[in-house]
Structure 1
């Protein structure tokens, strides 16, 4: 497994856990972290034994946004990280899920600060768990900046426009309960238990047919901006082939035999 000094990668069964690991800076994004994230997403996609991904942060924070000094390369160890960014100028956007969507479900486990670039990256995840004291927000306008990580496009598509505009235009912090009320996160749990809840959700996903899970996720996103009639047609294109798989037959057989299914991605 990969990883860097600011991004750890570990396996929990069929789940790949990516942990932002720069707690002294509230997990502010750095080049080592971005490179680790980029490679982690690709690792999860390439490994068929991985059925879900959990993204979390170390030390009681999720991510406090971009570390501009680190991105510029000041005081950062490892020339190879700058070389990676030069080789792929889009790497940081892929890492932050702006220009890449993993085919496996991504579950965010948020403790503490999830602001600025943290809230932007959150919008690229599929299922979101927040600890009670987590804080969200897009602070860019307060600093005279623009939330260029995708929020002016994605946020109004994920939560009601009035809430999206308030978050974007005021730059104020949001509590976990507020974030849940407007639909930005799906679960609020006691502090210190976000990762446990995320892994619980991941395990439920892992018990399902992986080909079916990936097809369902793909269909949801690719039909999001289609008309209903076009979306329904596209859904059939994604959905019907799943019924012809050995996994679909195994699911039905296991149900009839009252046993857990054994899926083989076939």
Structure 2
């Protein structure tokens, strides 16, 4: 059976599900390759407007597969080029919602941080424990984490290797929302379906500008925002959205 499953509960929403329950969804090269393949395809699929990324109701992903790394040398690790596989998720133009139950540790925490929204269950926990096995995060655990929660919270997580609870993650900015464990999957799908009803060109521009602006000066980021704002006035969806507002009716966005 595939290590990553893709379901489409509706044509415009896709669910990407890690499927290694016996290994707590540990991330080996097979899983990373499958994720990259699916995100490449879904990112280009015109009908898909939002993606939910999950490990299921028990465990998101407990980290990298240590058995596949323990005896590897530096050159072997370098030649695996895993950053290219992660990039397929980071570069996905569609909004990605991580539905996190249980462990999001190590590579699992880094995987969740590739999403745009994180819905966590009350029993979820987030951790970067790499220092405990003699290494450090290698897929964004020092960089994305710092951008999400700030220097001091990130330093505490990566230097101690200690987990934080879902509520702590929410307070520090590492989660968007915390719900009951048995409501995580449904809430993520609810948000995905809502986003799927919105104009996809505007959604794509919002995601692109927000992410690009994080690493730009304020003046440059504001320029990117302004240009994207102006560009959307060339879309049919902008005309439909504003006419629907004035006519007091629901809009129908077609992505043009």
- With the length of structure 1 as denominator, give the TM-score of the two structures: 0.87
Any unmatched runs of 5+ in structure 1? Answer: 73-87
More helix by share: 2
| Count of residues in Structure 1 that have an aligned counterpart in Structure 2 | 250
Distance, in Å, in 2 between the alignment partners of 1:59 and 1:195 is 7
Return the offset for 1:103: 0.5
Matches within 5 A, 1:30-41: 30-41=28-39
Partner secondary structure for residue 25 of structure 2: coil
Tell me the residue number matched to 1:107.
97
Tell me the residue number matched to 1:197.
187
Tell me the residue number matched to 2:114.
124
Deviation string 1:103-126 (CA, Å, 9 cap, x unpaired) is 011100000111010011111111
Distance, in Å, in 2 between the alignment partners of 1:240 and 1:59 is 42
Q: Please, which of 133, 146, 149 is the counterpart of residue 159 of structure 1?
A: 149
Any unmatched runs of 5+ in structure 2? Answer: 71-78
Distance, in Å, in 1 between the alignment partners of 2:19 and 2:145 is 26
Matches within 5 A, 1:103-252: 103-252=93-242
Contact 2:57 / 2:182 at 8 angstroms: preserved in 1? Answer: no
Distance, in Å, in 2 between the alignment partners of 1:257 and 1:99 is 39
Distance, in Å, in 1 between the alignment partners of 2:32 and 2:217 is 35
Distance, in Å, in 2 between the alignment partners of 1:153 and 1:33 is 22
Q: Using a 3 Å threshold, how does the CA distance of structure 1 residues 263 and 89 change in structure 2: closer, same or farther? A: farther
CA RMSD of aligned residues (A): 2.2
Q: List structure 1 segments (4+ residues) > 4 angstroms apart after TM superposition.
A: none
Contact 1:112 / 1:133 at 8 angstroms: preserved in 2? Answer: yes
Deviation string 1:189-230 (CA, Å, 9 cap, x unpaired) is 111221111111112211111000000110001111222111
- With the length of structure 2 as denominator, give the TM-score of the two structures: 0.91
